[in-house]
Amino acid sequence: MEKVRVRYAPSPTGHLHIGNARTALFNYLFAKHYHGDFILRIEDTDVARNVEGGEESQLKYLNWLGIIPDESPQHPNPKYAPYRQMERLDIYQKYTNWLLEKGYAYKCFCTPEELEVEHQRQESEGMAPRYNRKCLYLTPEEVAEKEKQGLPYTIRIKVPDNEVYEFDDMIRGHVSFESKDIGDWVLVKANGIPTYNYAVVIDDHTMDITHVFRGEEHLSNTPKQIMLYKMFGWEVPKFGHMTLIVNENHKKLSKRDANVLQFMSQYEELGYLPQAMFNFMALLGWSPEGEQEIFDKDSLIEAFSETRLSKSPSMFDKAKLAWVNNRYIKELPLEEFVKLCMPHLEKAYDLSSKSKEWIEKLIATYQEQVSYGAEIVPLVELFFNNKFEIEAEADEFLHSDPNIKNTLEVFANLLVNLDDFTKDNIFACIKETQKTANAKGKMLYMPIRIATTGIMHGPDLAVSLELLGKDVVLERLKNTINTL
RNA sequence: GGCCUGUUGGAGAAGUGGCUUAACUCACAUGCCUUUCACGCAUGCAUUUUCACGAGUUCGAAUCUCGUACAGGUCACCA
């Protein structure tokens, strides 16, 4: 097999979107599985929608995910450069001239307004909206005259009659379209810039792209592209159209959908791990052969097979993502986990009086249960909340047994004399209280927890008290005892 | 409306004619563990052969064929 070359070709219109990221991911996995190259090309032909920094952002988050292009605008292979379509305009021009000369394409002087009227008319008559070929029948003299007047024009392809475009999709199998269902579409816009469907063919061919994995929404673009390959006499790459990612309502994930976070940047900000995102996205529309679901990048590359790509849409399941991310978080060295959480804690609380050790102990307490970095913030609230309040149900519990007051007094007295306020020593005091006050189990732990934290459930008691600190613990104990 | 595609549980899915009594995972429920919470572990989870529905092919179908329904995609001087 010739060397596999695939590409991910985003338009620099914003941050890396989850759908695009997944497209990039599968192209990457495919390339690496077959020891091929993964190319990043920038499709910036929609000048109006390009945003400043869009390309950098795409690159940044691709990099974050660990999807590193072998070739890109930043790392060009001279044989194929440049990698931005707006820098390839002269290349397209050459082919456009050829198409025009051969009569495969023609100039169209219809204005957008005229087109719109025609479109409406066809639609109201129940016809498929399609260019009416008005300008195809212009005489060379008429064309020359209009050009002399400086009228703007687009260049349209003359779609062949009675052709059938068929291909074997790597995912969907045999697919075919008839040329009669396709209108003469625009190759070059009035501003002289090629359309996506045109530029992509020239680029994929001149860059020796062998395989194209893209979203299902491109399925109906494929015959348009194939007709161009045929006109030029070029070999058609292999196509694979992947399922859409849909939301809970089974609708294509739209960038405006507020229910699902759409961009890699948002996941990074919330403290999701790139390895987990990589793993999770690989499971969206693809399934491994065995029963394993947690894969690092290398084993995913190893396990990947395009034959196991699914045909039916996959739903973006936030709960599963959370689970996958939690799996990775648990494996993290504490140091890394601290790094993940710190920005969120710093933003939410005043950490200036806390030592590094204290913060690390605090964070370590929650590593098992947190599913993404920012989630730690509400969990640790009780260690930052200076207002101490006992919730109603807890207060009720405190008054449920006369021995509770005694238990708390015993415990408080033991703590007063405790110099080294660490969890082990605190635990020893709890044990001592158990004997002295004759309280055990729930009747021992629960009163202490409530009296010191105000709540009935929380992490390990000794650890909680250590984190709270001796002064706070004693003060709260005293105050609570006084209410009993 | 035309064209294209899909349809296995709440979700992702495995399964492509008999070894599947429809794997596995998430979610959910219950139990165990734990002072509690969380973690972990265990069990249950497509109720009337069941794989959208109907018909057909076959000794035999979730798996093949046709039709119906539903869902989605696409028909731009966006990509």
C1' (B44) to CA (A422) span, angstroms = 43
Is A252 among the residues known to form the active site? no
Q: Which residue's CA shows the smallest distance to C1' of B23?
A: A291
Rounded to whole angstroms, the Cα distance separating A225 from A424 reads 70
The CATH number of the domain where A355 resides is what?
1.10.10.350
A136 in Cβ contact with A194 (< 8 Å): no
What does each of the 484 residues of chain A score in pLDDT, given as a tens digit? 689 999 999 999 888 989 899 999 999 999 999 999 999 999 999 999 999 899 999 999 999 999 999 999 999 999 999 999 999 999 999 999 999 999 999 999 999 989 988 888 887 877 778 898 999 999 999 999 999 999 999 999 999 988 889 888 998 888 888 898 899 999 999 999 999 999 999 999 999 999 999 998 899 899 999 999 999 999 999 999 998 888 877 777 777 777 788 899 999 999 999 999 999 999 988 988 888 889 999 999 999 999 899 888 888 888 899 999 999 999 999 999 999 999 999 999 998 888 999 999 999 999 999 999 999 999 998 898 777 888 888 888 888 888 888 899 889 988 888 888 889 999 989 998 888 888 888 889 999 999 999 888 999 999 999 999 888 899 898 888 888 7
Helix then strand then coil, in percent of chain A rounded to 5, is 50, 10, 40
Rounded to whole angstroms, the Cα distance separating A18 from A220 reads 22
The CATH number of the domain where A264 resides is what?
3.40.50.620
Which of the listed residues A331, A354, A380 is the one where a domain comes to its end?
A331
Looking at the structure, do residues A357 and A433 belong to the same domain, yes or no? yes
Strand B reaches within 7 A of the A319 CB = yes
Domain that holds residue A289: 1-69+243-331
Looking at the structure, do residues A135 and A236 belong to the same domain, yes or no? yes
Asked if the structure places residue A7 within a domain, the reply is yes
Looking at the structure, do residues A108 and A200 belong to the same domain, yes or no? yes
Asked if the structure places residue A11 within a domain, the reply is yes
Helices (H), A332-422: 334-348, 356-365, 376-379, 392-398, 403-416
A422 in Cβ contact with A480 (< 8 Å): no
Asked if the structure places residue A49 within a domain, the reply is yes
C1' (B38) to CA (A366) span, angstroms = 8
Asked if the structure places residue A79 within a domain, the reply is no
Looking at the structure, do residues A231 and A327 belong to the same domain, yes or no? no
Looking at the structure, do residues A237 and A263 belong to the same domain, yes or no? no
Give the predicted TM-score (pTM) of the model: 0.92
C1' (B50) to CA (A312) span, angstroms = 21
CB neighbourhood size of A81 (10 A)? 15
Looking at the structure, do residues A113 and A179 belong to the same domain, yes or no? yes
C1' (B7) to CA (A265) span, angstroms = 34
Catalytic residue among A255, A311, A435, A442: A255
Looking at the structure, do residues A116 and A126 belong to the same domain, yes or no? yes
Looking at the structure, do residues A212 and A227 belong to the same domain, yes or no? yes
Looking at the structure, do residues A428 and A441 belong to the same domain, yes or no? yes
The burial of A139, by beta-carbon neighbours within 10 Å (0-12 exposed, 13-18 middle, 19 or more buried), is given as: exposed
Asked if the structure places residue A75 within a domain, the reply is no
Asked if the structure places residue A80 within a domain, the reply is no
Which residues 320-359 in chain A have a CB closer than 7 A to strand B?
320, 322-323
Rounded to whole angstroms, the Cα distance separating A430 from A447 reads 11
Rounded to whole angstroms, the Cα distance separating A217 from A243 reads 9
Count CA atoms closer than 13 A to A49's CA, side-chain side: 10
Looking at the structure, do residues A296 and A325 belong to the same domain, yes or no? yes
Count CA atoms closer than 13 A to A225's CA, side-chain side: 22
C1' (B44) to CA (A268) span, angstroms = 37
Q: Which nucleotide is nearest to A116 (CA to C1')?
A: B76
Asked if the structure places residue A460 within a domain, the reply is yes
Asked if the structure places residue A374 within a domain, the reply is yes
Looking at the structure, do residues A201 and A298 belong to the same domain, yes or no? no
Note the strand B nucleotides within 7 A of protein beta carbons: 1-8, 10-15, 23-27, 35-39, 71-79
What's the structural domain count of chain A?
3
Q: Which nucleotide is nearest to A109 (CA to C1')?
A: B77
Predicted ipTM of the assembly: 0.90
